[in-house]
């Protein structure tokens, strides 16, 4: 890797270590990016990606012994201000923009920073912002308040802001996490455009297909150590996964024929205007039905109705042959429906509260003894689920936010399995979950199906439903427009249908 | 030993306990009248009024809200009791009238809380606005009904309740401790208590978990209103009169007592025991200063300073923990 060092390096880091209270987050890592390169930084959560970015941008200081050079110049102790002046910018996943300010103000914001107070000239702000957008070849309404823009456009605003600061290297942290395929393609085109103009881009993404498409080289970290730097030419997703996790996963279609089992859920002609239309759907005991489609296809909305959060205007829902009309999700839970939300951070779990309390919340009634919560029963519940799902935790009293994405998702699953559901709705269950942890979660889901649980798997990632569902439904514009049997249809055919 | 105590009680209670010891030590050196039965007796009499109102404030804060109407809900409830007593002969009213009046007072306090809770839960209006509106309504109503004056002339046993004692423990203190115990059980062991913390941290995630959060919020404010009524009855017995505006100065102190007791201002976290300790510290501070000859207003100022000091100390403590964890 050392032979890559050369005059073209925008950023060259050698022997970077970082210790947090005795834990080595990074251990002698080297990282280098050259001008005009799109470089991917890959690794699971906790592998040290964010720590490395924070050291490069001066948020953290590295342990003594590190050698950091920006544009060939040795920087003893980078600070955020210094890194910025030397042309290193970061676009964090949450973008860090100002929702109430206009597009122009957001883009040109940094030109207003300085030691001396100055008056802001709206005209100059607009000109600066327009120049940045021109470089990206994008047209946006400069006067629109940012909060009115969809997330994909905000991403572009964040990139334009980095360009205004004369960035030579832009770190992008999970930039496509909330984008649709079309928006992602557009973003990738912009990134290529930037690279062609000499700007280096470091791309961090969980979506490996995207990584291999956009990046020329990938630096892989695992458990704080450097695995290596690899060209993406000739690299496959499964090889990259193996490098990141140190394990091999075989992606095989898991579909089985469940057409003889008794139906658990039967939906006929379900309609809620503006959300979904004429949905017919049957899920049998032990069957996993996948629904895929673009964002806005009505998948999540359908899930909400099945979980009693909203009511359909027309149509019928039957559980075990009996028609049901849920007044709230409380009714649905009682009838044996559980729903794992796509938004684990703000809806799936109560992040600041303890692991134990999160697990106990939906089944509190069962922990009562003489009208009061029995601490003994609660501890038993928590212990047994943590053991069953092999969740790695410190103490049950620790806040759930201290867990990794994969372990948090196991807690969500445990919390819902504790309600003893007969229909489990999984809405994007692996968002923000590592490749390795994903395999663990699907292993759990498969075991549940074996035990006779009916599962509705909603995901915008076609491969996820292709490999894990027994049948795949394609939803678009609120309707089910196609059905596929993963044993007969190839993944490529499904992807063509969904993303075309 | 310290580690054991910390594990048993939690850092917050331990910290406040040490503070309490410090306050007692400093004042017992400064004044030889501090460590006397008379002094602790007067603390025991003063503690319940502020304490009961603080308990009423605690639930809404834990749920991520606030109840600015606590003092006026207490006044209006007491007014209900006073009205029943007067209608039944004033000084000649019997104990039956007192019981009936107290029940009605609880009903009025609970109703005020219920209305606030229902509006907060269903209209999703901010609790500060809702309770502020309720506060203004109750104050205006109370002043209109009493023409701004005192209502007095109660039977003798009312004053006896306010100033009497059982086995040497003042009656109001017994009421207060019973309510503390009730809140302890409610928050520590009951469903509603559990929901209160969860709603305070993330109401939407709680709703997605199958909790009827609207009902929970309504109940939280109703219980807050009931506790206000208890406070109102105790205050009336102590002063032997009712006036709209009694205990008005306590309103913001109840909020601060909660924060001093380590309750998260944004909801979701806080314990009754810590709040109780915080209340005792505040009362000891003010009685100690009183013994040293400082006037009432100065001791209020010292409360303020003390609270600021606690916030700074807490901030420093957090930073220290973080720095130790990060090793920087």
Residues A374-433: pLDDT tens digits?
A: 999 999 999 988 888 777 777 888 888 888 778 888 899 999 999 999 999 999 888 777
In chain A, pLDDT over 90 holds for what percent of residues?
36
Beta bridge partners of A230: A218
When CB atoms are compared, the residue of B191, B198, B212 closest to A350 is B198
Domain map (residue ranges) of chain B:
2-326
Distance from CA of A169 to the nearest CA of B (A): 27
Rounded average pLDDT over A466-490:
91
- Is A254 contained in some domain? no
- In terms of domains, do A239 and A126 share one? yes
Residue of B63, B191, B208 to mutate, interface with A, max A Cβ within 10 Å: B208
Q: Would the CA dihedral through A467, A469, A474, A478 be positive or negative?
A: negative
Mean pLDDT taken over chain B: 89
Q: Which residues of B touch A349 (CB under 8 A)?
A: 205
pTM for this prediction: 0.80
Does an H or E element contain A454, and which? strand A454-459
Check whether B287 has a pLDDT greater than 80.
Answer: yes
Check whether B262 has a pLDDT greater than 80.
Answer: yes
The per-residue b/e assignment along B112-131, b for 16 or more CB within 10 angstroms, e otherwise, is bbbbbbbbbbeeeeebeebb
Chain B contacts in chain A segment 349-388 (CB below 8 A): 349-353, 357, 360-362, 364-365, 368, 371-373
d(CA B91, CA B154): 5
User: Out of A180-189, A235-244, A279-288, B76-85, which region has the weakest mean confidence (pLDDT)?
Assistant: A180-189
* Contact (Cβ atoms closer than 8 angstroms) between residue A343 and residue A335: no
- In terms of domains, do A314 and A234 share one? no
Q: Is A281 helix (H, G, I), strand (E, B) or coil?
A: strand
- Is A251 contained in some domain? no
Read off φ and ψ for residue A89, nearest 5 degrees.
-125, 150
Q: What is the pLDDT of residues B93-134, one digit of tens each?
A: 888 999 999 999 999 999 999 999 999 999 989 999 999 999
User: Out of A57-66, A437-446, B9-18, which region has the weakest mean confidence (pLDDT)?
Assistant: B9-18
- In terms of domains, do A235 and A308 share one? no
Read off φ and ψ for residue A69, nearest 5 degrees.
-120, 130
Question: Does this complex have an ipTM over 0.85?
Answer: yes
Q: Do A373 and B190 touch (CB under 8 A)?
A: yes
Residue of A24, A64, A352, A399 to mutate, interface with B, max B Cβ within 10 Å: A352
- Is A258 contained in some domain? no
Chain A contacts in chain B segment 183-212 (CB below 8 A): 185, 189-191, 194, 197-198, 201-202, 204-212
Closest Cα in chain A to B190: A372
d(CA A135, CA A161): 12
Which residues have CB under 8 Å from B53's CB, separation 6+?
A: B70, B71, B74, B227, B228, B231, B247, B250, B251, B254
Q: Do B202 and A351 touch (CB under 8 A)?
A: yes
Q: What is the pLDDT of residues A114-128, one digit of tens each?
A: 656 666 778 888 888
User: So what's the pLDDT on residue A470?
Assistant: 93
- The count of structural domains within chain A is 2
Closest CA to B260 of B75, B27, B23, B86: B23
Distance from CA of A77 to the nearest CA of B (A): 14
- In terms of domains, do A341 and A388 share one? yes
Rounded average pLDDT over B161-171:
86
- In terms of domains, do A9 and A147 share one? yes
- Is A252 contained in some domain? no
* Contact (Cβ atoms closer than 8 angstroms) between residue A184 and residue A298: no
Domain end marker among A182, A216, A245: A245
CATH (domain of A105): 3.40.50.300
User: So what's the pLDDT on residue A337?
Assistant: 96
User: So what's the pLDDT on residue B90?
Assistant: 79
- In terms of domains, do A233 and A284 share one? no
Domain end marker among A186, A215, A245: A245
Running DSSP on this structure, what letter comes out for residue A147?
Answer: G
Phi-psi group of A454: left, alpha or beta (phi > 0 → left; psi -120 to 50 → alpha; rest → beta):
beta
Largest CA distance in chain B: 73
* Contact (Cβ atoms closer than 8 angstroms) between residue B292 and residue B30: yes
Of A397 and A306, the one with more pLDDT: A306
Q: Which residues of B touch A22 (CB under 8 A)?
A: 327
User: So what's the pLDDT on residue A4?
Assistant: 44
User: So what's the pLDDT on residue B328?
Assistant: 46
- In terms of domains, do A236 and A270 share one? no
Is residue B10 less than 8 Å (CB to CB) from chain A? no
- In terms of domains, do A110 and A195 share one? yes
d(CA A306, CA A326): 8
Domain end marker among A245, A277, A297: A245
Check whether B321 has a pLDDT greater than 60.
Answer: yes
Q: Is A345 helix (H, G, I), strand (E, B) or coil?
A: helix
Closest Cα in chain A to B212: A330
User: So what's the pLDDT on residue B273?
Assistant: 92
- In terms of domains, do A179 and A302 share one? no
When CB atoms are compared, the residue of A21, A333, A351 closest to B327 is A21
Closest CA to A26 of A76, A74, A57, A61: A61
Q: What is the pLDDT of residues A61-87, one digit of tens each?
A: 888 888 999 888 888 777 888 888 888
- In terms of domains, do A345 and A393 share one? yes
User: So what's the pLDDT on residue B7?
Assistant: 61
Q: Which residues of A touch B197 (CB under 8 A)?
A: 353, 357
Q: What is the CATH number of domain B2-326?
A: 1.10.3470
d(CA A56, CA A62): 9
- In terms of domains, do A359 and A453 share one? yes
- In terms of domains, do A230 and A320 share one? no
Which residues have CB under 8 Å from A499's CB, separation 6+?
A: A181, A294, A462
User: Out of A311-315, A353-357, A462-466, which region has the weakest mean confidence (pLDDT)?
Assistant: A462-466
- Is A339 contained in some domain? yes
d(CA B73, CA B78): 9
When CB atoms are compared, the residue of B189, B210, B269 closest to A329 is B210
Task: Supply the range of the domain harboring residue A278.
Answer: 263-499
Q: What is the pLDDT of residues B129-152, one digit of tens each?
A: 999 999 999 999 999 998 888 888
Residue of A345, A361, A362, A413 to mutate, interface with B, max B Cβ within 10 Å: A361
- Is A407 contained in some domain? yes
Which residue matches tokens 């007592």?
Answer: B257
* Contact (Cβ atoms closer than 8 angstroms) between residue B31 and residue B292: yes
d(CA A359, CA A378): 9
Check whether B5 has a pLDDT greater than 70.
Answer: no
Distance from CA of A22 to the nearest CA of B (A): 8
Where is mean pLDDT largest: A155-159, A352-356, B17-21? A352-356
């Amino acid at each position: 890797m050392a032979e890559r060092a050369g005059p073209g390096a925008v950023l060259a880091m050698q022997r970077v270590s970082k210790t947090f209270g005795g834990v080595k987050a990074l251990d002698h890592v080297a990282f280098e990016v050259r001008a005009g390169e799109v470089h991917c930084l890959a690794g699971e959560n906790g592998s040290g990606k964010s720590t490395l970015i924070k050291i490069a941008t001066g948020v953290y200081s590295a342990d003594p012994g590190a050698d950091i050079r920006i544009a060939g110049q040795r920087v003893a102790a980078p600070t955020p201000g210094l890194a910025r002046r030397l042309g290193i910018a970061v676009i964090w996943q949450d973008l860090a923009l100002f929702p109430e300010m206009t597009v122009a103000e957001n883009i040109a914001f940094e030109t207003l920073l300085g030691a001396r107070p100055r008056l802001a000239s709206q005209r100059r702000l607009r000109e600066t912002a327009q120049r940045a957008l021109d470089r990206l070849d994008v047209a946006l309404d400069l006067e629109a308040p940012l909060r009115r823009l969809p997330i994909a456009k905000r991403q572009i605003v964040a990139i334009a802001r980095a360009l205004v600061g004369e960035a030579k290297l832009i770190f992008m942290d999970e930039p496509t996490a909330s984008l649709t395929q079309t928006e992602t393609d557009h973003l990738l085109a912009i990134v290529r455009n930037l690279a062609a103009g000499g700007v280096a881009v470091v791309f961090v993404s969980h979506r490996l297909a995207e990584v291999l498409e956009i990046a020329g080289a990938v630096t892989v970290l695992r458990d704080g150590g450097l695995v290596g730097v690899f060209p993406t030419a000739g690299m496959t997703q499964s090889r990259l996964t193996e490098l990141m996790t140190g394990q091999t996963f075989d992606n095989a279609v898991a579909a089985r024929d469940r057409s003889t089992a008794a139906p658990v859920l039967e939906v006929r002609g379900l309609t809620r205007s503006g959300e979904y239309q004429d949905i017919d759907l049957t899920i049998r005991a032990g069957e996993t039905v996948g629904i895929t489609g673009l964002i806005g296809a009505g998948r999540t909305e359908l899930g909400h109705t099945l979980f009693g959060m909203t009511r359909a205007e027309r149509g019928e829902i039957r559980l075990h042959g009996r028609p049901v009309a849920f007044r709230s999700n409380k009714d649905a839970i009682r009838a044996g429906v559980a729903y794992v939300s796509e938004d684990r951070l703000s809806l799936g779990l109560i992040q600041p509260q303890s692991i134990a309390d999160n697990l106990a919340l939906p089944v509190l009634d069962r922990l009562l003894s003489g009208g009061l919560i029995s601490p003994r029963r609660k501890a038993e519940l928590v212990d047994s689920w943590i053991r069953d799902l092999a969740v790695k935790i410190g103490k049950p009293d620790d806040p759930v936010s201290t867990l990794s994405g994969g372990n948090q998702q196991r807690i969500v699953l445990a919390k819902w399995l504790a309600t003893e559901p007969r229909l489990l709705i999984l809405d994007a269950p692996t968002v923000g979950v590592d490749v390795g942890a994903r395999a663990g979660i699907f292993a759990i889901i498969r075991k549940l199906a074996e035990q006779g649980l009916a599962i509705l798997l909603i995901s915008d990632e076609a491969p996820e439903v292709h490999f894990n569902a027994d049948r795949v439904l394609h939803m678009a514009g609120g309707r089910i427009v196609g059905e596929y049997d993963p044993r007969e249809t190839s993944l490529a055919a499904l992807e063509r249908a969904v993303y075309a | 030993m310290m580690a054991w105590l910390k594990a048993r009680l939690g850092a917050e209670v331990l910290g406040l306990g040490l503070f309490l010891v410090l306050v007692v030590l400093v004042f017992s050196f400064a004044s030889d009248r501090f460590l006397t039965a008379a002094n602790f007796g007067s603390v025991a009499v003063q503690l319940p009024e502020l304490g009961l109102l603080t308990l009423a404030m605690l639930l809404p804060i834990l749920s991520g809200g606030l109840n600015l109407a606590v003092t006026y809900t207490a006044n209006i409830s007491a007014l209900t009791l006073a009205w029943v007593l007067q209608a039944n002969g004033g000084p000649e009213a019997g104990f039956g009238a007192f019981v009936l009046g107290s029940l009605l007072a609880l009903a009025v306090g609970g109703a005020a809380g219920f209305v606030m809770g229902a509006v907060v839960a269903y209209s999703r209006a901010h609790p500060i606005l809702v309770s502020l509106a309720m506060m203004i309504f109750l104050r205006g109503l109370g002043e209109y009904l009493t023409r701004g004056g005192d209502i007095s002339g109660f039977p003798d046993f009312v004053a006896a309740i306010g100033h009497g004692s059982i086995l040497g423990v003042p009656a109001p203190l017994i009421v207060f401790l019973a309510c503390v115990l009730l809140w302890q059980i409610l928050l520590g062991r009951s469903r509603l208590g559990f929901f209160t913390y969860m709603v305070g941290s993330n109401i939407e995630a709680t709703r997605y978990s199958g909790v009827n959060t609207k009902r929970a919020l309504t109940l939280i404010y109703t219980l807050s209103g009931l506790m206000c009524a208890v406070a109102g009855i105790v205050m009336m017995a102590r002063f032997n009169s009712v006036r709209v505006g009694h205990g008005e100065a306590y309103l913001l102190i109840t909020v601060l007592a909660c924060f001093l007791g380590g309750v998260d201002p944004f909801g979701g976290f806080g314990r009754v025991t810590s709040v109780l300790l915080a209340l005792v510290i505040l009362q000891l501070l003010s009685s100690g200063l009183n013994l040293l000859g400082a006037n009432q207003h100065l001791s209020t100022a010292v409360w303020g300073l003390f609270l600021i000091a606690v916030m700074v100390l807490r901030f420093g403590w957090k930073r220290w923990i973080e720095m130790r964890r990060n090793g920087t």
